[in-house]
A = this chain, B = another copy of it.
Amino acid sequence: MTGRVVVLTGGVGGAKLVLGLAQILSAEKITAIVNTGDDFQHFGLHISPDIDTLLYTLSGRANIAQGWGREGESWSFMSALRSLAAEDWFQLGDGDLALHVLRSHALAQGHALSNVTAGFAAAWNLQTHILPMSDQPVSTILTTNEGELGFQDYFVRLRCAPKVNAIRFQGAGTAKPAPGVLDAILDARTAAILIAPSNPFLSIDPILAVPGIAAALSAASAPVIAVSPIIGGQAVKGPTAKLMRERGLAVTPAAIAAHYAGVINGLLIDWRDAPCDPQCPFATADTLMVSLADRARVAKAALDLAARLGAK
């Protein structure tokens, strides 16, 4: 593929796909539009988990085995925090704190999240364009059987145990796409727009909730291809399948396609879930990403489907 590629992505699963793309394309052709609905304030620090996961993954700093945070991380901060009887449900690694402290300081001085993120990427020599979905705060709020919960309360503190009745994206109504987001989607050189196999409800829907982004996806000449987060009737990681069941949905690629109806032009599904009829153009592949080669293979399969569908 000679064109550019845009990826809408959340954290871990999405970062795998972006890393796969970076194996088969020159990095400067890739633009990742990243969910910031998980962003939150903790001890006054602004934490952007999905952006950080992408930064760590693309720069080779991610702890692959653990699935989050930095490789070779140390934990003196958390230990000191516990000695001071402070809340310790959110793990802040010592090295990880550098991004949080520098970001919080820069935001407090009036810099935009997109600028701060670009600065981090530049310091680590990343050519991939990493854009927050918005520079304005958008917060994913879950209405559950235990009341309203912020994303991190639900995801980290309560380990996704509460039953979710509804999800809303506070602030999305007045948020604007970050600089570069609409340009990348609408760029005539963009040959494919991918939706990473991130959680559709918690990682991708917040991006689609930012006014202007869904319309740009429709208007784009590039086909929009989602990679199904379902593999053999399950999600690889996280609460995707649980959330689908709580909504009364079958845990199938067809349900994913229905969720993204009107947004996507094609779906890449895992062979374990075939045969199925997602009622949209699709391709089948082994979408499980364990090795680096797996990541590249899935990225290539998604781009192949985009190439097969061609410009809209």
Interface residues of A (CB under 8 A from B): 43-45, 70, 73-74, 76-77, 79-81, 83-86, 93-99, 101-102, 104-105, 108, 119-120, 123-124
Chain B hits for A73, CB < 8 A: 76
Q: Which residue of B lies closest to A82 (CB)?
A: B98
Known: A45-B101, A102-B86. A95 touches B80 (CB 8 A): yes
Q: For residue A23, give the distance in angstroms from its CB to the closest CB of chain B.
A: 23
Let me know if B77 and A97 touch, CB within 8 A. Answer: yes
Task: Kindly list chain B residues whose C-beta atoms are within 8 Å of the C-beta of A77.
Answer: 77, 94-95, 97-98, 101
- Give the interface centre of A77, A81, A101 by most chain B CB atoms within 10 Å: A101
Q: Do residues A76 and B101 form an inter-chain contact, with CB atoms below 8 A?
A: no
* Complex Cα spacing A81 to B43, Å: 19
Q: Which of B44, B70, B79, B120 is within 8 Å of A108, CB to CB? A: B44
Beyond A80-B97, A80-B99, 5 extra complex contacts between A and B, CB < 8 Å? A43-B102, A76-B76, A81-B98, A83-B98, A84-B98
CB distance from A259 to the nearest CB of B (A): 37
* Contact call A74/B94, Cβ cutoff below 8 A: yes
Chain B residues closer than 8 Å to A80, beta-carbon distance: 70, 94-99
Collect the chain B residues with CB atoms within 8 Å of residue A98's CB.
77, 80-81, 83-84, 86
**Which residue of B has the minimal Cβ distance to A100?**
B101
* Assembly CA distance A93 to B119 (angstroms): 24
B residues less than 8 Å from A95 (CB atoms): 76-77, 79-80
Q: What B residues does A94 contact at CB under 8 A?
A: 74, 76-77, 80, 94, 97
Nearest CB in chain B: distance from A126 CB, A: 12
Provide the residues of chain B in CB contact with A108, threshold 8 Å: 44
A94 to B100 Cα, complex, angstroms: 13
Among the interface residues A43, A44, A105, which one has the most CB atoms of the partner chain B within 10 A? A44
**A105-B74 contact in complex given A81-B98, A98-B81, C-beta closer than 8 Å:** no
Query: Is the pair A123, B85 in contact by a Cβ cutoff of 8 Å?
Result: yes
A132 to B76, CA, bound (A): 26
Q: List 19 A-B contacts (CB under 8 A).
A: A44-B101, A44-B104, A44-B105, A44-B108, A74-B76, A76-B93, A77-B95, A77-B98, A79-B95, A84-B99, A84-B102, A84-B119, A85-B123, A86-B98, A86-B102, A94-B97, A97-B97, A97-B101, A101-B101
What is the CB-to-nearest-CB distance from A44 to chain B, in angstroms, rounded to a whole number? 4
